[in-house]
A and B are shown apart, each in its own frame.
Chain A
Amino acid sequence: MRNGEKWTVQTLARALRGGKCSARELTLACLKRIEACEPEVHAFLTVTREKALTAADRIDARLAAGEELPLLAGIPMAIKDNICTKGVRTTCASRMLENFIPPYDADAAERLHQAGAVLLGKLNMDEFAMGSDTGTSAFGPTANPLDVSRVPGGSSGGSAAAVAAGEAVFALGSDTGGSVRQPAALCGVVGLRPTYGRISRYGLTGFAPSLDQIGLVTRDVPDCAAVLAAVAGFDPRDATSSRVPVDDYLTGIGEGVRGMRAALVRESLEESSPGVRRELLRAAARLETLGARVDELSLPFLRDMLPAYHILSSAEASSNLARFDGIRYGFSATDAADWQERIRESRSRGFGREVKRRILLGTFVLTKEQYGPCYEKARRLKGKTLASLRTALSYYDFLLLPTSPEVAWKREEKRDPVAMYRSDLFVVPASIAGLPALSVPFGMDQGLPVGMQLVGRAFGEKELFRAAHALEEGKA
């Protein structure tokens, strides 16, 4: 069913309304695809087959009754397993939340539900979104559907793999330090991290709240625009959600890049593999051909961003994950002698290695002794990043750099955690600055897709979509 990959929100919405197919048929097709791919890909942790079919039937009935429904009505999709779904198990790919069934929907999940999108199930990820290859999941890794011996990236590896494999038309992920963009790049699909505050974080299990954003994985840029329009918006339940009005992202998406100014980040040339560097230069040339101006720009602090990111995110994670004590939900060391030991044992056995590493790191950088030299220094760097990216973006419409320094690697190639952290070098700056960034497939290297990253102004998603769509249309 390779043609499934060509299915986009736009074409399927038209087909549904034209009576060419039903929501039930679409859902069944996805479920069939899931059945076929899952043994090798393992993108899903939970498949909600019956719920999905019931929801699809409801949409079919409403369409048959001639009701005007939102664009996403009847479109099958899936959600990363750290985003709460009412009545559907939400595990964060951790033993600690293995049996957690939220009594509430995340704001984004609720909006998709309102729009009539059909939930197929919950997607695999690195445990508590900590990782870059979906290898730290307590329930086994996800494989890259383009080459199952390779990683799909992470932490939203399940989201990217599901969309790339045609198991879902689009997916929600979360992006703390590149977790949507990097897997999208490695799986050859579109990944968006919107501006911090654009999509409510209500119901997203916190990893590092000052950096966490719900993101989208779609098959093309217009789909991304359509889904963002459905899930974005102010939510009174999230104090960091923004009141900036949501744009009409689809209108004018095909207007091209003529007159736009792009800054190619010089350091990303040096840090990329030869193949990725070649595609980056080709993308710059393509933008110029299409009428944009591309300059080289140096961001000398780029390399400092990675340690700053790990300090800030681990500090917040150590606090956010302290509540998982094995008493209220998830794994519990029931063989412990007393309650203190039970908590200690539950956490020692219930969390995986990477999560424990980050909890330890975060606890360390927040001690009285390390707060100044680590945490505070990282926060100052965050301020500096924001200021210098703002300055750059006051002149340039967007920054251009690869999403990942290299294409998808084989799982056994990266065992060292620091080598793994380095794969996030290009995605971390936008996270730290809270700016919107989009990864769009552009070109191939060693037969695997390369993702180009566009970083835009705060709440400038519309311009990002326009530029990314031009690159997407113009690709060979």
Chain B
Amino acid sequence: MNTRYETVIGLETHIELKTETKAFCSCSAVYGDEPNTHCCPVCTGMPGALPVLNAKAVELAVKAGLLLHCRVSLWSKMDRKNYYYPDLPKAYQISQYDRPLCTGGWLDIPSGEGTKRIRIERIHLEEDAGKLLHTENGTLLDLNRCGVPLIEIVTMPDFRGPEEVTAYLRELRERIRFAGISDCRMNEGSLRCDVNLSIRPVGEKHLGERAEIKNLNSFQFAAKAIAYEAERQAAVLDAGGVLFPETRGFNESTGTTFSMRRKESQSDYHFFPEPDLPPIVLTQETVERWKSELPEPPSSRRERWQERWSLARETAEALTVSREAADSFERAAGMTRYPKQLAVLLAADPARLETERIPVSDKHLAALADLLGSGAVGNAAAKELLERLWQEDADPVEMAERLGLGKITDRAALEELAREVIGSCARMAQDYRAGKTAALQALIGQMMRRTQGRADPELSREILLNLLKSQ
């Protein structure tokens, strides 16, 4: 990027809320079914059909606001945003204009060594439109997404580059998902963003003319679009050209942005209060209750765990992949003397934590951690026990006994095994005696292999050393 200019960016992020039904009717809001299987007179805008606001959508929108430290309006209303497009059967979108549900929040994002605070201007509730599918035989319309509740989160122009935007989106997505507000699946369009970008000479206070880049549906595209657009604007100014406010699109295959329309010719949406819906009135008690239901954000949990139990960052991240996983781990961790061992054990399969709920009771998880931590079972045995517990939630102590997964600590048995190992791996023994100390580790490994990992490693080591010295 040209160093003479500073890039100034604000974001508008659209997030589909995770409600069972649509915003204004009882159609299912599920993603990915056959086209036009989830629509009714209300969401297809048939004459006489009326919207009724989904209370869950209001709750989730307010919770998103609380997560982002916003003020919640106890009185807000829905408005009509009037525009015609074939994917909008009522010819207006029910949205919020001058009284959004949430205003004035912030989100801290990691930036360099420290953190940076991004200010949130507002969060409002609205409905999604349908989807146009352009085919060779004409354009088809799928109304399954039409009327699905969305929130739009608008930031102040606080970003200075693509890294900050990506960091913000990551932090936002993680928090929203963790709180069960949305799945934030960019490939399904349940999280998408518009970037407002302008540049100005370094040191300049006034903002330049901004371009709005619409509908970016991956973090990578957002970063690419920002990098390209900042360069493009700099090139225009450097060539003595003039920038004007405009709406631009992003071409995913070329990684470039292109002009869609100038802002001044942009339509007037004729906003007015939605007469079919009464105002949204909330009590402070309701808002407080919703606040109390919100989970501690994953980033703060990770910090706490890393500090207290010195977990590795990756381990902590794997455990905060979902609220269920984090809660489950945290409860079990409180019941064992070996929380770190439990964390490492659970985090060994991060993919599974992402897709499945932990089916093991807290008590049994804690008992497993105790077995491992106290040395009663080895790592391999602990892993096997966890696999078995995943299939059937049972007492791991009994299970270890039943399956003979406990550590072998019988000195005589281990001595016999060690003799066998030295006998069959004479080369390794020779190497050790010749001064290659690493060979001892290989011999211990042999003992482990022959006992499926159950041989007590400390005892095995001692016995091997004695035998090697005495022979």
Contacts and interface: CB of A to CB of B under 8 A. Distances in A.
B53 interface: yes
Describe A's contact surface by its main secondary structure.
Answer: loop
Given A237-B52, A366-B270, A209 B275 contact: yes
Contacts of B90: 322-323
Interface in A352-376: 363, 366-368, 371, 375
A325 B278 contact: no
A83 B50 contact: no
A294 interface: no
B270 A319 contact: yes
Given A206-B276, A208-B275, A210-B275, A238 B82 contact: no
B74 interface: no
Given A323-B91, A366-B82, A236 B52 contact: yes
Given A319-B82, A325-B84, A237 B47 contact: no
A102 B46 CA distance: 8
A18 interface: no
B104 interface: no
A368 B269 CA distance: 9
B92 A103 contact: no
Contacts of B92: 319, 322
A421 interface: no
Contacts of A465: none
B48 interface: yes
B236 interface: no
B47 A239 contact: no
Contacts of B35: none
Contact of B47 (A100, A325, A366): A100
Contacts of B276: 206, 209, 239-240
Interface string B78-122: 001010101001111000000000000000000000000000000
Q: Which of B51, B53, B84, B275 has the most CB of A within 10 A?
A: B275
Nearest to A105: B48
A292 to B, nearest CB: 35
B467 interface: no
A54 B314 CA distance: 73
B312 interface: no
Contacts of B48: 82-84, 90, 102, 104, 106, 201-206
B82 A322 contact: yes
Contacts of A224: none
Contacts of B180: none
Given A237-B52, A316-B275, A205 B47 contact: yes
A327 B276 CA distance: 24
A239 B46 contact: no
A208 B272 CA distance: 12
Contacts, number: 92
Interface in B241-293: 268, 270-272, 275-278
B41 interface: yes
Nearest to A367: B268
B208 interface: no
B275 A202 contact: no
B272 A90 contact: no
A97 B50 contact: no
B45 interface: yes
Given A90-B47, A319-B80, A239 B277 contact: yes
Contacts of B86: 327, 339
A428 B290 CA distance: 43
B275 A84 contact: no
Interface residues of A, number: 42
Contacts of B277: 239-240
A92 interface: yes
A368 B46 CA distance: 28
Contacts of A371: 271-272
Nearest to A106: B48
B51 to A, nearest CB: 7
A202 B82 contact: no
B80 A239 contact: no
A146 interface: no
Contact of B278 (A202, A240, A328): A240
A92 B277 CA distance: 23
B49 interface: yes
Q: Which of B41, B50, B90, B91 has the most CB of A within 10 A?
A: B50
Contacts of A315: 272
Contacts of A202: 48-50
A210 B272 CA distance: 12
Contact of B91 (A201, A322, A366, A375): A322
A367 B45 contact: no
Interface in B393-440: none
Contacts of A90: 47-48
Interface in B50-85: 50-53, 80, 82, 84
Interface in A214-243: 236-240
Q: Which of B86, B272, B277 has the most CB of A within 10 A?
A: B272
Contacts of A100: 47
Given A239-B278, A240-B278, A319-B92, A375 B272 contact: yes
A343 B85 CA distance: 11
Nearest to B276: A209
B268 A325 contact: no
A236 B46 CA distance: 18
B48 to A, nearest CB: 4
Given A316-B275, A363-B270, A239 B50 contact: yes
A371 B84 CA distance: 20
B255 to A, nearest CB: 32
B283 to A, nearest CB: 18
A244 B158 CA distance: 50
Interface in A85-113: 90, 92, 97, 100, 102-104, 106
A239 B53 contact: yes
Given A103-B41, A366-B272, A237 B50 contact: yes
Contacts of A104: 41, 46, 48-49
Nearest to B82: A319
Contact of A323 (B52, B89, B272, B275): B89
Contacts of A106: 48
Interface in A170-208: 201-206, 208
Contacts of A319: 80, 82, 91-92, 270, 272
Given A318-B270, A322-B92, 5 more contacts: A104-B49, A204-B48, A237-B52, A319-B82, A319-B92
Interface of B: 41, 45-53, 80, 82, 84, 86, 89-92, 268, 270-272, 275-278
24 contacts: A84-B48, A90-B47, A102-B41, A103-B41, A104-B41, A104-B46, A104-B48, A201-B50, A203-B49, A205-B48, A206-B47, A206-B48, A208-B275, A238-B52, A239-B52, A316-B275, A318-B270, A319-B91, A322-B84, A323-B89, A325-B84, A325-B91, A339-B86, A363-B270
- Across chains A and B, which 6 residue pairs bring their CB atoms closest together, nearest first? A322-B91, A210-B275, A366-B270, A209-B275, A205-B47, A203-B48
